[in-house]
Amino acid sequence: MIVLGIETSCDETGVAVYHSQHGLLADCLYSQISLHQDYGGVVPELASRDHIRKLVPLIEECLAKANVTSEDINGIAYTAGPGLAGALLVGACVARSLAWAWQASALAVHHMEGHLLAPMLEENRPDFPFVALLVSGGHSLMVKVVELGNYEVLGESLDDAVGEAFDKTAKMLGLGYPGGPALEKLAKKGNPGCYAFPRPMTDRRGLDFSFSGLKTFAMNTWSQTAKTPQDKADIALAFQDAIVDTLAIKCRRALRETGLETLVVAGGVSANKSIRDELKRMTAEENGEVYFPRLAFCTDNGAMIAYAGCLRLSAGQEDSLPITALPRWPLDSLKPISVHPIFPIDSTG
């Protein structure tokens, strides 16, 4: 089976072609960062319009890169949610139209399931069951993954997601957009121990997250400094350390409470090197293993959608004709499917 994957949930247009026997044939991505930089964040209407301009040319480019034609495509998987309503509708409308024109199956894919399965695109892959930490600009989720589609949400954001807290704090420090990578870079110049930031919700039971207060703490600390470049770097480091420690504490707790030894970490924030290093250290202490997608597949991409779609289409799942776009879509509402995951060697390396 050859599946075309389409991702348009936010500010990146992602397209990929996945083969059930030969792996990932092609992956193309267009980022809207330059479009939204002047506004300090994503403008939904601009994002939707840019997806309209870029999606079809990107599909043509990806098919050519994969050396396949529309006649070779058996299924089209598209992100149906969660995400920005207008952006989702662009991908959904194009996907459903192409599926009808090409006489291919179509399937709505959950964006966070795509992230959760992104490490499966690597040669070194986790086995079910495992604990997954999904951290992005809009989501912070701790999930017990029993099998494909069998998900139990153990904890989630009560306010700001991790990536959102990074971006807002970076904006407060005048670092621009996207804030997460800029703050991580600045934190390398910080002096450890200059500020003691709280580790939110680690002193109580449970696996939920709350980062709004940490963002406010950083803002109050910044307002009380001389606002020198070094002050800025020291606050960036203290903020990042608090995030890193909080995630490590919660992940350790999740592994112990579930009795599982495997941790999967995915989503845009999983590209942060300090988070990766600390979670590697923590899982080693717990005699467990941690898996990450490659950096290119941490952020939104078409490959993870094509892969997730291929698994479900291969199991016989297919959507009816109506177009699906769900800005809010609980991960644990997905249907489990009994299928052995498809794990061919990734031909794009």
Q: What is the DSSP string of 268-318?
A: GGGG-HHHHHHHHHHHHHTT-EEE---GGGTSS-HHHHHHHHHHHHHTT--
- Strands of 2-7's sheet in order across: 23-31, 12-19, 2-7, 75-81, 105-110
All residues at 6 or more sequence positions from 154 whose CB lies less than 8 Å from its CB, including other chains: 131, 142, 143, 144, 207, 254, 257, 258
**pLDDT for the residue 119:** 96
Cα 343 to its chain centre, rounded Å, is 20
CATH topology of domain 2-117+297-333: Nucleotidyltransferase; domain 5 (3.30.420)
List, for residues 106-129, the tens digit of each pLDDT value.
999 999 999 999 999 999 999 999
Taking alpha carbons only, the member of 105, 109, 106 closest to residue 88 is 109
Beta bridge partners of 4: 17, 76
**CB neighbourhood size of 160 (10 A):** 22
**pLDDT for the residue 345:** 55
Every domain of the chain and the residues it spans: 2-117+297-333, 128-292
Element (H, E) at 88: helix 85-102
**pLDDT for the residue 127:** 93
Domain 128-292 has CATH 3.30.420.40: yes
Q: How many CA atoms lie within 13 A of 228 on its CB side?
A: 6
Phi and psi for 250 in degrees, rounded to 5?
-70, -40
Long-range contacts formed by 279-283: CB under 8 A, 24+ apart: 279/133, 279/247, 279/248, 279/251, 281/248, 282/248, 282/251, 282/252, 283/251, 283/255
Find tokens 């994002």 and name the residue.
Answer: 47
**pLDDT for the residue 322:** 84
- Evaluate whether 313 touches 75 at the Cβ level (below 8 Å): yes
Taking alpha carbons only, the member of 288, 276, 282, 273 closest to residue 248 is 282
Q: Do domains 2-117+297-333 and 128-292 have the same CATH topology?
A: yes
Residues in the chain, pLDDT under 50: none
**pLDDT for the residue 47:** 97
**pLDDT for the residue 23:** 95
Measured at the alpha carbon of residue 276, what is the angle toward residues 208 and 132, in degrees to the nearest 5?
Answer: 40
What's the rounded Cα separation, in Å, for the pair 23 and 342? 9
pTM score? 0.95
Q: Per the structure block, which two tokens stand in for 281?
A: 């250290």
Pairing of strands 75-81, 2-7: parallel
- Evaluate whether 130 touches 120 at the Cβ level (below 8 Å): no
- Evaluate whether 17 touches 310 at the Cβ level (below 8 Å): no
- Evaluate whether 294 touches 122 at the Cβ level (below 8 Å): yes
